[in-house]
Amino acid sequence: MITGFQHMHSALRWVVLALLVLTLIKAWQNRNGAFTADQGKLGLFTMISLHVQLLLGLALYVMKDWMSMLGTPGVMESTVMRFFTVEHLAGMLIGILFGTLGHSLVKRAETDALKHRRQLRYFGIALLIIVASIPWPIRPGFEAYGWF
């Protein structure tokens, strides 16, 4: 079961990244025009995918018992252990927070220009933080985690 959750969590990363990039592209292309219902729905789907990814990640965090390792000596000395017990979780939570803020604040914005700016700002910050928090296999020590 853990393997299935890991594969879903890893595969959904590409969906989340694609939706974030698509949301930013659409917001940038239409920044001087009207904010369409399609852009609002795209932001909503992006936020939903972020939250599904969060639920899968939290399930993995609990199933793999990463929480209990926080007080274990030597965890902070290991690059991989520190990354998964602290850095990945904190970075993703912050990234998802910005994605959620992006969607919520866009709904409350008064003007179309403000909606575009908020979507660009918050989803852009979310994308940067999330990309930095992914265990890419090109990082030293993470070669075993693969692209999928």
Per the CB < 8 A criterion, the answer to whether 60 and 5 are in contact is yes
96-142 per-position pLDDT tens digit: 999 999 999 999 999 999 999 999 999 999 999 999 999 888 888 87
Q: Which residue has the higher pLDDT, 72 or 133?
A: 133
The domain segmentation of the chain, as residue ranges, is 2-145
Banded model confidence at residue 148, pLDDT cuts 50, 70, 90: low
Q: Which residue has the higher pLDDT, 115 or 66?
A: 115
Q: Which residue has the higher pLDDT, 12 or 1?
A: 12
Q: Determine the pLDDT at residue 101.
A: 96
